Structure 1
Amino acid sequence: MTVQRSSNSLREELASFLTHYCKAPTPLDPENVVVLNGCSSVFASLAMVLCDPGDALLIPTPCYNGFVFSSHLYSKIELIPVHLESQVPRSNLDSFQLTVDKLKLALTQAKKKAKKVKGLVLINPQNPLGDVYTQSSLQEYLVFAKTHKLHVIMDEIYMLSVFEPSVTFHSVLSIKDLPDPNMTHMIWGTSKDFGMSGIRFGVLYTHNKEVASAMKAFGYHHGVSGITQYKLCRLLQDKEWISKVYLPKNHSRLQKAYSYITKILKDLKIPFYNGGSGLFVWINLKAYLSPCTFDQEQILHQRFRDKKLLLSSGKSYMCIEPGWFRLVFAETHLHLQVAMDRFCHVLAEHKKHEK
């Protein structure tokens, strides 16, 4: 059997690219780079390599809903949610903040149910919250994982989409002394930061040579075409254009769209959450649900769909609270105007109907 491998030139270019944009303390090794046709392929394959069927992974929720399918694709891995709340009574914590105490509680409860937890999945910047982990918080999560002998799968697919100047992104690859480098694995791709969802490409960087070797075998089923690899090489090697032209323009457009959307949300007195990154805003429509249940959330979700608005419901992200929706704002101003007119119309009609 011939295994489809990514070209040496692409892996070398990716190692250089990730070293630069992740601010790695030392040059990354191209031999530790694994390329497959999409981040979902990378995650599904990595879950199979790290886990046995029936094993489990901790994941803070709300979280990207594609992980549910990907974790079951090969190894039937169970995702155990670490529920984050929008309101934390008697606490100085921010909304939806992940803490080590919450991780410990979820792990303890899983063990009581005889679950074999093999790892922790983190998304940074977070989807659907748009939040970015601080360096100290990230360190705490990694120490927790090492203490409990857990792999850490870090999804950083939005790492170049931090548009708020006051927010600083810290890649897991930027940490000089990782608590457990052999059990830390980072995923990235071009579908979000470069708007290239149709170019099926995802990359894993792991310091673990055995994991990298096992992952490369999946290139037989999840390989990337030679033409795609060549185009990606040409894109990623042009760091001057990326840094001086593309990223500033992209961040400016995201910031402008975000400002437009959030002004309307403020006028409507709709609470929202976003940490200054990503392509979306997490909005609270609980006031439009009577009673505030997941059934009512689904009814409102369908009304959006009927008007050709594809907001995502909070339940699909394993959110423990009904009433939250993810609204994507990465669009042209004209399209956003049309979308928000429909959005306001749906909410007005929905409220009228509920009365």
Structure 2
Amino acid sequence: MRDGGSHGDQEGGSGSFHQRKRRRVGRGGDGVLSNALAGYLSWQQTAEERFLALEEDRMRQEARAEERREQQEERRAKQEREHEFRLMSMLTKVLSSSRGTEEQSASTSRETLGVPSTSQTLFPYMLSSSAKAVPSMPLGDQMAQYSPYLSRRGNSMRLHQGILQEGFNQYHANKHDENSNPHGIINLGTSENKLCFDLLQKRVRCDLLVYLREEVAKFLSHYCRSPKPLKPKNVVVMNGCGSLFSALAATLCDPEDAILIPSPFYGVITEDVGLYSSVKLHHVPLYSQVPTGSDVRPFQLTVEKLENSLKEAKKEGLNIKALILLNPHNPLGEVYSSEEMISFLEFAKMHKLHVIVDEIYMLSVFNETDTFHSVLSLDGLPDPQRTHIMWGVSKDFAMAGMRVGMVYSENRDLVQALDQLGCFHGVPGPTQYQMAQLLRDRDWLNSEFLPENRRRLREAHSFMTEELKKQDIPFLHRSAGFFIWADLSKYLREKTFAEELSLWRCFLKHKVLLSCGQAFSCVSPGWFRIIFTDQLHKLKLGLSIAHFHFNKTLKTSSVQTKLDTVHIKTEPVSLSLDSLIGTLRQQIHTSDWLEKYKPELAAGQDPTQLDVFTDLLDKARK
């Protein structure tokens, strides 16, 4: 019995030993998984805490930006008040000096004894006349006023007057003439040869002495269908619309101010307003997809989008001074209706923004069903003092390189400020003569050039759109300008701007130049501007090269890109261990995140956790 009992005890002891061993092994496995789970949850908590910290930091930055914006506005108001006070002080001194000079000259005349000499009679008269002329000059009255429409820089430009300018302005207002104005100013200060004017007069016919501003005013009145004749004094002519953009930015904005502009837009405008005017552009993004809501077409501009972008700009601490509108649009080819333009102008009036309307393609609308409505055709602008219309000859007259641009504005302060910059952006005399002759030849323009130009634009546009349809390339079907806005995103390996730039360089490498969307600040990668206004044989050759590389680079299979980060959804802690391990296993299978961020995971924690995760990674991938 003892032997049997002993044997049973041995068997029982052996069984309990194996059971204890299995329990120890089980507890050891559970411990590894528990440690892994604890590390995983600890990492998740750390990530959430960091995200909250970043959010708090972002909110603090926004609050600081808003505070800076308010401080800037306070400083601006204070500086404007100080400037007005200085101007009033200057005006008071000028008036006091004028009265003192007049009294002194009169006293000198009365006290002179004997027969007066020529100098004794002439110079007191000149001093008295000039003293009387200073306060009565229109420019002097304008210089004593600080324009609320211009920036501080613009007011400084408008009010600037050197000694030579002061003398010439008075001479220009009071020229000497033997018959009509014998007591006027005799100009012996301007370096100008008038000795041979009689000889030149024989060679220059009087009908050629036209004034470019007058011809521009007549031209715009006719082709913009203005309800009343436009005034030549409101016209400013410079050497191209790029110069006008720069000058307008300089006079309407101070350095670091900003201008709203819908994107995509003609990319050179960024340099036009930024290079020497130091003015920023704040984009109003327009999207290719038509969302639900008020949008009915791709890349549609609405007042709601303008409002949202203006709010974002203010949150960033930007001081928005103006809005730029392109109509017809470059690169979209969009032609805005008069109702749309009025709504945009009403928005600008509400926020006291200047509106710069670029209408350089106004005569290049080639579809008879689409009618272009110039802002100048509107009977009553919402805010005429802040509305400025630009046009140039290079596009509508097919004269690329002929740098002649013009702006029409009823704001006299702005016109005066722009005139101050005219010496830097002037148009040469021969060019002015050519342009005046061209603008006044409306019979030829209406009967021959413009109809034929529109016909050729229609034919070239039709050819290009048919070729794009053959390649199944989406595009905006618009009827203005020299270009088509086409979607080449299907030829990108992935929809990124880096791939767009790579495709653009591929075309350029094979001797075909297009314009990629990011050059126009488009928010959707893959859009290109394609010009169709060239000789037919060049269009065919360029398209044949492009088609070859389109087909060569077309994706044959979908390419899956690796994720740079893992987006882990926050789950309740009460989930089972199996579900958490399954989630972790899925993340490991679909991402190289763990291997990529090993140092960050182990930093500041128990190094053994990294070994546990590495073991789990190896097991999960077997």
* TM-score normalised over the length of structure 2: 0.55
Residue type at the aligned position of 2:552: E
Corresponding residue for 1:68? 270
- Tell me which of 338, 347, 352 is aligned to 2:550: 347
Structure 2 Cα separation of the partners of residues 67 and 89 of structure 1: 28
Structure 2 Cα separation of the partners of residues 53 and 274 of structure 1: 39
Higher Cα Rg: structure 1 or 2? 2
Which one is further off, 134-143 or 328-337?
328-337
Q: 1:348 deviation in Å? A: 1.8
Structure 1 Cα separation of the partners of residues 537 and 219 of structure 2: 34
Structure 2 Cα separation of the partners of residues 290 and 200 of structure 1: 41
Corresponding residue for 2:247? 45
Corresponding residue for 1:83? 285
Corresponding residue for 2:199? none
- Tell me which of 217, 220, 226 is aligned to 2:423: 220
Corresponding residue for 2:455? 252
Corresponding residue for 1:113? 316
Residue type at the aligned position of 1:15: A
SS across alignment from 2:396:
coil
- Tell me which of 232, 237, 247 is aligned to 1:35: 237
Structure 2 Cα separation of the partners of residues 96 and 289 of structure 1: 21
- Structure 2 matches for 1:122-133, cutoff 5 A? 122-133=325-336
Structure 2 Cα separation of the partners of residues 234 and 89 of structure 1: 49
Greater than 6 Å deviation, 4+ residue runs: 352-355
SS across alignment from 2:236:
strand
Corresponding residue for 2:373? 170
Corresponding residue for 1:333? 536
Q: 1:10 deviation in Å? A: 0.4
1:100-119 CA distances to partner (integer Å, 9 max, x unpaired)? 00000000011111110001
**Cα pair 2:473 2:488 within 8 Å, conserved:** yes
- Structure 2 matches for 1:12-23, cutoff 5 A? 12-23=214-225
Q: 1:90 deviation in Å? A: 2.1
Q: Percent identity?
A: 46
1:178-226 CA distances to partner (integer Å, 9 max, x unpaired)? 0000000011101111111221111011111110111112111111000
Say whether residues 1:95 and 2:298 are aligned partners.
Answer: yes
Which one is further off, 239-248 or 124-133?
239-248
Corresponding residue for 1:25? 227
SS across alignment from 1:224:
coil
Q: Higher helix share goes to which structure?
A: 2
**Cα pair 2:490 2:554 within 8 Å, conserved:** no
* TM-score normalised over the length of structure 1: 0.96
Q: 1:89 deviation in Å? A: 2.4
Corresponding residue for 2:155? none
Corresponding residue for 1:138? 341
**Cα pair 1:121 1:155 within 8 Å, conserved:** yes
Residue type at the aligned position of 1:326: R
Say whether residues 1:322 and 2:525 are aligned partners.
Answer: yes
Q: 1:228 deviation in Å? A: 0.2
SS across alignment from 2:222:
helix
Structure 1 Cα separation of the partners of residues 299 and 382 of structure 2: 25
Structure 2 Cα separation of the partners of residues 198 and 80 of structure 1: 29
Residue type at the aligned position of 1:147: M
SS across alignment from 2:395:
coil
Structure 2 Cα separation of the partners of residues 340 and 135 of structure 1: 36
Q: 1:352 deviation in Å? A: 7.0
Q: How many residues align?
A: 352
Corresponding residue for 2:31? none
**Cα pair 1:297 1:323 within 8 Å, conserved:** yes
Corresponding residue for 2:261? 59
**Cα pair 1:129 1:274 within 8 Å, conserved:** no
Q: 1:75 deviation in Å? A: 2.1
SS across alignment from 1:88:
coil
1:29-75 CA distances to partner (integer Å, 9 max, x unpaired)? 00010011010001100110101111110000000001100111232
1:257-311 CA distances to partner (integer Å, 9 max, x unpaired)? 0000000101111000142000000000011111111010001000111122111
Q: 1:332 deviation in Å? A: 1.5
Structure 1 Cα separation of the partners of residues 439 and 475 of structure 2: 34
- Tell me which of 278, 285, 290 is aligned to 2:488: 285
Corresponding residue for 1:264? 467
SS across alignment from 1:109:
helix
Structure 1 residue ranges without an equivalent (≥5): none
SS across alignment from 1:192:
helix
Higher relative contact order (CA 8 A, sep 6+): 1
Structure 1 Cα separation of the partners of residues 291 and 381 of structure 2: 33
Q: 1:240 deviation in Å? A: 1.2
Q: Higher strand share goes to which structure?
A: 1
SS across alignment from 1:191:
helix
Structure 1 Cα separation of the partners of residues 314 and 531 of structure 2: 37
Structure 1 Cα separation of the partners of residues 376 and 549 of structure 2: 44
**Cα pair 1:45 1:74 within 8 Å, conserved:** no
Structure 1 Cα separation of the partners of residues 537 and 457 of structure 2: 14
